[in-house]
A and B are shown apart, each in its own frame.
Chain A
Amino acid sequence: MNRFTLWFHKMGSPPTFYAFAERWRPWLLGGALLLTTVALVWGFGYAPADYLQGDSFRIMYIHVPAAWMAQFVFFVMAVSGFVAIVWRIKLAEIMCIASAPVGAAFTAIALATGSLWGRPTWGTYWVWDGRLTSTLILLFLYFGVIGLYRAIEDRRKAARAAGLLSIIGMINIPIIKYSVEWWNTLHQPASINVIKGSSSIDASMLWPLLLMAIATKLYYGWSALSRAQLMVLESERGKDWVRELAGLPMVGSSSRPVEPATRSSTT
Protein backbone atom coordinates (compact mmCIF):
# COMPACT_ATOMS: atom_id res chain seq x y z
CA MET A 1 0.00 0.00 0.00
CA ASN A 2 1.61 3.30 -1.06
CA ARG A 3 1.62 6.43 1.09
CA PHE A 4 -1.31 8.09 -0.68
CA THR A 5 -3.53 5.00 -0.39
CA LEU A 6 -2.58 4.71 3.28
CA TRP A 7 -3.43 8.38 3.85
CA PHE A 8 -6.73 7.94 1.97
CA HIS A 9 -7.67 4.99 4.19
CA LYS A 10 -6.69 6.91 7.33
CA MET A 11 -9.01 9.75 6.27
CA GLY A 12 -11.85 7.23 6.34
CA SER A 13 -11.72 7.40 10.14
CA PRO A 14 -13.94 10.31 11.32
CA PRO A 15 -11.70 11.39 14.26
CA THR A 16 -8.60 11.36 12.00
CA PHE A 17 -10.42 13.35 9.34
CA TYR A 18 -11.71 15.81 11.94
CA ALA A 19 -8.19 16.36 13.32
CA PHE A 20 -6.79 16.75 9.78
CA ALA A 21 -9.45 19.38 8.96
CA GLU A 22 -8.88 21.16 12.26
CA ARG A 23 -5.15 21.40 11.52
CA TRP A 24 -5.58 22.75 7.97
CA ARG A 25 -8.57 25.07 8.29
CA PRO A 26 -6.74 28.10 9.78
CA TRP A 27 -4.01 27.87 7.13
CA LEU A 28 -6.55 27.67 4.32
CA LEU A 29 -8.57 30.65 5.53
CA GLY A 30 -5.45 32.67 6.40
CA GLY A 31 -3.94 31.94 2.97
CA ALA A 32 -7.19 32.88 1.22
CA LEU A 33 -7.43 36.21 3.06
CA LEU A 34 -3.76 37.03 2.49
CA LEU A 35 -3.83 36.23 -1.23
CA THR A 36 -7.14 38.09 -1.71
CA THR A 37 -5.63 41.20 -0.09
CA VAL A 38 -2.46 41.02 -2.22
CA ALA A 39 -4.42 40.34 -5.42
CA LEU A 40 -6.91 43.16 -4.91
CA VAL A 41 -4.25 45.72 -3.91
CA TRP A 42 -2.31 44.67 -7.04
CA GLY A 43 -5.40 44.58 -9.25
CA PHE A 44 -6.73 47.95 -8.16
CA GLY A 45 -3.52 49.80 -7.30
CA TYR A 46 -1.03 48.67 -9.93
CA ALA A 47 -2.76 46.94 -12.87
CA PRO A 48 -3.48 49.46 -15.66
CA ALA A 49 -6.99 50.05 -17.03
CA ASP A 50 -7.86 48.04 -20.14
CA TYR A 51 -7.57 50.04 -23.38
CA LEU A 52 -11.00 48.86 -24.55
CA GLN A 53 -13.02 48.07 -21.40
CA GLY A 54 -11.56 50.75 -19.15
CA ASP A 55 -11.80 50.00 -15.42
CA SER A 56 -14.73 47.56 -15.72
CA PHE A 57 -12.22 44.79 -16.53
CA ARG A 58 -11.36 44.80 -12.79
CA ILE A 59 -14.59 42.85 -12.22
CA MET A 60 -12.69 40.00 -13.93
CA TYR A 61 -10.63 39.51 -10.74
CA ILE A 62 -13.67 38.08 -8.99
CA HIS A 63 -15.84 36.97 -11.91
CA VAL A 64 -13.32 34.66 -13.59
CA PRO A 65 -12.08 32.85 -10.41
CA ALA A 66 -15.71 32.45 -9.27
CA ALA A 67 -16.69 30.96 -12.65
CA TRP A 68 -13.68 28.58 -12.53
CA MET A 69 -14.62 27.53 -9.00
CA ALA A 70 -18.26 26.97 -9.98
CA GLN A 71 -17.10 24.29 -12.43
CA PHE A 72 -14.22 22.93 -10.33
CA VAL A 73 -16.39 22.39 -7.23
CA PHE A 74 -19.02 20.54 -9.27
CA PHE A 75 -16.27 18.31 -10.69
CA VAL A 76 -15.07 17.57 -7.14
CA MET A 77 -18.67 16.74 -6.15
CA ALA A 78 -19.06 14.36 -9.08
CA VAL A 79 -15.78 12.57 -8.24
CA SER A 80 -16.77 12.37 -4.54
CA GLY A 81 -20.22 11.13 -5.56
CA PHE A 82 -18.64 8.44 -7.73
CA VAL A 83 -16.34 7.30 -4.89
CA ALA A 84 -19.31 7.35 -2.48
CA ILE A 85 -21.50 5.22 -4.76
CA VAL A 86 -18.82 2.73 -5.87
CA TRP A 87 -16.83 2.25 -2.63
CA ARG A 88 -19.45 3.42 -0.10
CA ILE A 89 -16.95 5.69 1.65
CA LYS A 90 -18.82 7.87 4.14
CA LEU A 91 -16.38 10.78 3.95
CA ALA A 92 -16.74 10.93 0.16
CA GLU A 93 -20.50 11.32 0.69
CA ILE A 94 -19.80 14.08 3.20
CA MET A 95 -17.33 15.92 0.94
CA CYS A 96 -19.83 15.80 -1.94
CA ILE A 97 -22.57 17.45 0.15
CA ALA A 98 -20.23 19.81 2.03
CA SER A 99 -19.00 21.21 -1.30
CA ALA A 100 -22.45 22.05 -2.69
CA PRO A 101 -23.25 25.31 -0.80
CA VAL A 102 -19.89 26.93 -1.55
CA GLY A 103 -20.13 25.78 -5.18
CA ALA A 104 -23.58 27.35 -5.45
CA ALA A 105 -22.20 30.55 -3.86
CA PHE A 106 -19.41 30.77 -6.45
CA THR A 107 -21.87 30.12 -9.30
CA ALA A 108 -24.21 32.85 -8.04
CA ILE A 109 -21.23 35.24 -7.76
CA ALA A 110 -20.10 34.37 -11.31
CA LEU A 111 -23.58 35.04 -12.71
CA ALA A 112 -24.15 38.27 -10.77
CA THR A 113 -20.71 39.78 -11.43
CA GLY A 114 -20.85 38.70 -15.09
CA SER A 115 -24.18 40.45 -15.40
CA LEU A 116 -22.77 43.62 -13.79
CA TRP A 117 -19.77 43.46 -16.13
CA GLY A 118 -22.07 42.89 -19.13
CA ARG A 119 -24.08 46.09 -18.65
CA PRO A 120 -21.24 48.59 -19.31
CA THR A 121 -19.43 46.26 -21.76
CA TRP A 122 -22.21 44.61 -23.83
CA GLY A 123 -24.97 47.11 -23.04
CA THR A 124 -27.15 44.44 -21.37
CA TYR A 125 -27.29 42.60 -18.06
CA TRP A 126 -28.33 39.28 -19.58
CA VAL A 127 -28.58 37.38 -22.87
CA TRP A 128 -29.71 33.78 -23.31
CA ASP A 129 -26.47 32.67 -24.94
CA GLY A 130 -24.80 29.29 -24.45
CA ARG A 131 -22.30 30.25 -21.73
CA LEU A 132 -24.71 32.24 -19.56
CA THR A 133 -27.60 29.78 -19.88
CA SER A 134 -25.46 26.70 -19.14
CA THR A 135 -23.99 28.46 -16.07
CA LEU A 136 -27.51 29.25 -14.87
CA ILE A 137 -28.36 25.55 -15.32
CA LEU A 138 -25.28 24.76 -13.18
CA LEU A 139 -26.72 26.94 -10.39
CA PHE A 140 -30.01 25.01 -10.62
CA LEU A 141 -28.05 21.75 -10.48
CA TYR A 142 -26.39 22.91 -7.25
CA PHE A 143 -29.82 23.76 -5.82
CA GLY A 144 -31.05 20.35 -7.00
CA VAL A 145 -28.20 18.53 -5.21
CA ILE A 146 -28.81 20.46 -1.96
CA GLY A 147 -32.61 20.02 -2.22
CA LEU A 148 -32.38 16.30 -2.97
CA TYR A 149 -30.07 15.74 0.01
CA ARG A 150 -32.47 17.56 2.32
CA ALA A 151 -35.56 15.81 0.93
CA ILE A 152 -34.43 12.27 1.86
CA GLU A 153 -34.50 11.39 5.56
CA ASP A 154 -31.83 8.66 5.57
CA ARG A 155 -28.59 10.72 5.47
CA ARG A 156 -26.50 8.09 3.70
CA LYS A 157 -29.12 7.36 1.04
CA ALA A 158 -29.61 11.11 0.62
CA ALA A 159 -25.87 11.65 0.13
CA ARG A 160 -25.62 8.87 -2.46
CA ALA A 161 -28.65 10.23 -4.35
CA ALA A 162 -27.05 13.70 -4.33
CA GLY A 163 -23.79 12.12 -5.52
CA LEU A 164 -25.62 10.45 -8.40
CA LEU A 165 -27.19 13.78 -9.41
CA SER A 166 -23.69 15.34 -9.31
CA ILE A 167 -22.39 12.64 -11.67
CA ILE A 168 -25.32 13.15 -14.07
CA GLY A 169 -24.92 16.94 -13.82
CA MET A 170 -21.27 16.66 -14.90
CA ILE A 171 -22.55 16.58 -18.49
CA ASN A 172 -23.13 20.32 -18.13
CA ILE A 173 -19.46 21.12 -17.37
CA PRO A 174 -18.06 20.48 -20.89
CA ILE A 175 -21.12 22.30 -22.27
CA ILE A 176 -20.16 25.38 -20.21
CA LYS A 177 -16.50 25.05 -21.19
CA TYR A 178 -17.04 24.63 -24.95
CA SER A 179 -20.26 26.69 -25.34
CA VAL A 180 -18.20 29.66 -26.58
CA GLU A 181 -16.68 27.49 -29.31
CA TRP A 182 -19.74 25.43 -30.28
CA TRP A 183 -22.16 28.34 -30.58
CA ASN A 184 -21.95 31.95 -31.66
CA THR A 185 -22.14 33.55 -28.22
CA LEU A 186 -21.87 37.09 -26.90
CA HIS A 187 -19.50 35.76 -24.23
CA GLN A 188 -15.91 35.89 -25.44
CA PRO A 189 -13.75 32.72 -25.79
CA ALA A 190 -11.29 31.79 -23.03
CA SER A 191 -8.35 34.19 -22.64
CA ILE A 192 -6.27 31.62 -20.74
CA ASN A 193 -5.43 28.13 -22.01
CA VAL A 194 -4.30 26.05 -19.04
CA ILE A 195 -3.31 23.04 -21.19
CA LYS A 196 -1.12 25.07 -23.56
CA GLY A 197 0.00 27.38 -20.75
CA SER A 198 -0.79 30.43 -22.90
CA SER A 199 -2.67 33.64 -22.16
CA SER A 200 -3.79 36.68 -24.16
CA ILE A 201 -3.83 38.80 -20.96
CA ASP A 202 -0.84 41.03 -20.23
CA ALA A 203 1.25 39.88 -17.23
CA SER A 204 0.51 43.13 -15.35
CA MET A 205 -3.18 42.18 -15.31
CA LEU A 206 -2.76 38.40 -15.22
CA TRP A 207 -0.93 37.92 -11.89
CA PRO A 208 -3.68 39.35 -9.64
CA LEU A 209 -6.14 37.07 -11.46
CA LEU A 210 -4.00 33.99 -10.81
CA LEU A 211 -3.58 34.96 -7.15
CA MET A 212 -7.36 35.32 -6.81
CA ALA A 213 -7.79 31.91 -8.46
CA ILE A 214 -5.56 30.36 -5.76
CA ALA A 215 -7.31 32.37 -3.01
CA THR A 216 -10.76 31.10 -4.05
CA LYS A 217 -9.47 27.51 -4.06
CA LEU A 218 -8.08 27.94 -0.53
CA TYR A 219 -11.39 29.46 0.57
CA TYR A 220 -13.26 26.51 -0.95
CA GLY A 221 -10.99 24.15 1.01
CA TRP A 222 -11.78 25.99 4.24
CA SER A 223 -15.52 26.16 3.62
CA ALA A 224 -15.91 22.53 2.52
CA LEU A 225 -13.74 21.20 5.39
CA SER A 226 -15.71 23.29 7.91
CA ARG A 227 -19.04 21.90 6.68
CA ALA A 228 -17.59 18.38 6.49
CA GLN A 229 -16.44 18.67 10.13
CA LEU A 230 -19.96 19.70 11.13
CA MET A 231 -21.49 16.75 9.27
CA VAL A 232 -18.96 14.36 10.86
CA LEU A 233 -19.84 15.70 14.31
CA GLU A 234 -23.57 15.30 13.63
CA SER A 235 -23.21 11.73 12.42
CA GLU A 236 -20.88 10.79 15.31
CA ARG A 237 -22.58 12.79 18.06
CA GLY A 238 -22.98 9.82 20.39
CA LYS A 239 -19.34 8.73 20.15
CA ASP A 240 -16.78 9.30 22.91
CA TRP A 241 -14.44 11.44 20.83
CA VAL A 242 -17.25 13.91 20.04
CA ARG A 243 -18.34 14.02 23.70
CA GLU A 244 -14.74 14.67 24.69
CA LEU A 245 -14.55 17.47 22.11
CA ALA A 246 -17.69 19.05 23.57
CA GLY A 247 -16.23 18.75 27.09
CA LEU A 248 -18.76 16.11 28.15
CA PRO A 249 -18.21 12.98 30.27
CA MET A 250 -17.54 9.93 28.10
CA VAL A 251 -19.91 6.95 28.03
CA GLY A 252 -17.94 4.44 25.92
CA SER A 253 -16.59 1.24 27.45
CA SER A 254 -12.97 2.26 26.93
CA SER A 255 -13.30 5.37 29.03
CA ARG A 256 -15.99 4.34 31.51
CA PRO A 257 -14.78 4.53 35.14
CA VAL A 258 -13.89 1.08 36.45
CA GLU A 259 -16.43 -0.40 38.89
CA PRO A 260 -15.11 -1.21 42.42
CA ALA A 261 -16.06 -4.89 42.07
CA THR A 262 -14.15 -5.20 38.81
CA ARG A 263 -11.19 -3.38 40.31
CA SER A 264 -11.04 -5.75 43.30
CA SER A 265 -11.30 -8.78 41.05
CA THR A 266 -8.34 -7.67 38.94
CA THR A 267 -6.05 -6.83 41.82
Chain B
Amino acid sequence: MDHWPFIYASYAIFFIVLIVDAVGAGGGRRRLLQGLQGRAAREQRRSQS
Protein backbone atom coordinates (compact mmCIF):
# COMPACT_ATOMS: atom_id res chain seq x y z
CA MET B 1 0.00 0.00 0.00
CA ASP B 2 1.28 3.47 -0.91
CA HIS B 3 1.60 5.46 2.33
CA TRP B 4 2.08 8.90 0.81
CA PRO B 5 -1.62 9.75 0.17
CA PHE B 6 -2.26 9.16 3.91
CA ILE B 7 0.73 11.32 4.83
CA TYR B 8 -0.35 14.17 2.54
CA ALA B 9 -3.94 13.97 3.81
CA SER B 10 -2.73 14.10 7.43
CA TYR B 11 -0.59 17.18 6.87
CA ALA B 12 -3.36 18.86 4.87
CA ILE B 13 -5.79 18.34 7.79
CA PHE B 14 -3.19 19.61 10.28
CA PHE B 15 -2.54 22.85 8.41
CA ILE B 16 -6.18 23.50 7.37
CA VAL B 17 -7.51 23.04 10.93
CA LEU B 18 -4.79 25.28 12.42
CA ILE B 19 -5.26 27.96 9.73
CA VAL B 20 -9.02 28.01 10.47
CA ASP B 21 -8.20 28.29 14.19
CA ALA B 22 -5.69 31.08 13.52
CA VAL B 23 -8.21 33.05 11.46
CA GLY B 24 -10.76 32.68 14.27
CA ALA B 25 -8.24 33.71 16.93
CA GLY B 26 -6.46 36.55 15.12
CA GLY B 27 -9.24 37.95 12.96
CA GLY B 28 -11.80 38.51 15.71
CA ARG B 29 -9.88 41.33 17.39
CA ARG B 30 -9.60 43.33 14.18
CA ARG B 31 -13.35 42.92 13.54
CA LEU B 32 -14.16 44.02 17.10
CA LEU B 33 -12.00 47.16 16.88
CA GLN B 34 -13.52 48.00 13.49
CA GLY B 35 -16.97 47.47 15.00
CA LEU B 36 -16.16 49.86 17.85
CA GLN B 37 -14.91 52.49 15.40
CA GLY B 38 -18.01 52.08 13.21
CA ARG B 39 -20.33 52.43 16.20
CA ALA B 40 -18.53 55.56 17.40
CA ALA B 41 -18.75 57.08 13.91
CA ARG B 42 -22.51 56.36 13.79
CA GLU B 43 -22.98 57.91 17.24
CA GLN B 44 -21.05 61.01 16.16
CA ARG B 45 -23.12 61.41 12.96
CA ARG B 46 -26.34 61.02 14.98
CA SER B 47 -25.28 63.65 17.51
CA GLN B 48 -24.34 66.11 14.74
CA SER B 49 -27.64 65.69 12.86
Residues on A facing B (Cβ under 8 Å): 54-56, 58-59, 62-63, 66, 101-102, 105, 108-109, 112-113, 116-117, 119-120, 219, 222-224, 226-227, 229-230, 233-234, 237, 242-243, 245-249
Question: Once the chains bind, are A233 and B10 in contact (CB under 8 Å)?
Answer: no
Q: Can you list, as one digit per residue, whether each of B5-49 has a CB less than 8 Å from chain A (1) or not (0)? A: 011011101100110111011101100110011001000000000
- Output the nearest chain B residue to A66 by Cβ-Cβ distance: B14
Q: With the chains together, A243 CA to B14 CA distance in Å?
A: 37
- Output the nearest chain A residue to B31 by Cβ-Cβ distance: A230
Question: Once the chains bind, are B37 and A246 in contact (CB under 8 Å)?
Answer: yes
Question: Once the chains bind, are A120 and B40 in contact (CB under 8 Å)?
Answer: no
Q: With the chains together, A230 CA to B14 CA distance in Å?
A: 24
Question: Once the chains bind, are B10 and A101 in contact (CB under 8 Å)?
Answer: no
Instruction: Collect the chain B residues with CB atoms within 8 Å of residue A62's CB.
Output: 10-11, 14
Q: With the chains together, A101 CA to B9 CA distance in Å?
A: 22
Q: With the chains together, A54 CA to B6 CA distance in Å?
A: 12
- Output the nearest chain B residue to A53 by Cβ-Cβ distance: B3
Question: Once the chains bind, are B10 and A117 in contact (CB under 8 Å)?
Answer: yes
Q: A56-B7, A105-B17 are in contact. List 6 more A-B contacts (CB 8 A).
A: A55-B4, A101-B24, A101-B25, A112-B17, A219-B18, A226-B25
- Whether A246 touches B33, Cβ cut-off 8 Å, given contacts A55-B3, A55-B7, A116-B9, is yes
Q: With the chains together, A182 CA to B33 CA distance in Å?
A: 51
Out of A66, A120, A227, A233, which one reaches B25, CB within 8 Å? A227
Nearest 7 CB-CB pairings of A with B: A226-B25, A56-B3, A113-B10, A246-B36, A62-B14, A230-B28, A223-B25
Instruction: Collect the chain B residues with CB atoms within 8 Å of residue A108's CB.
Output: 17
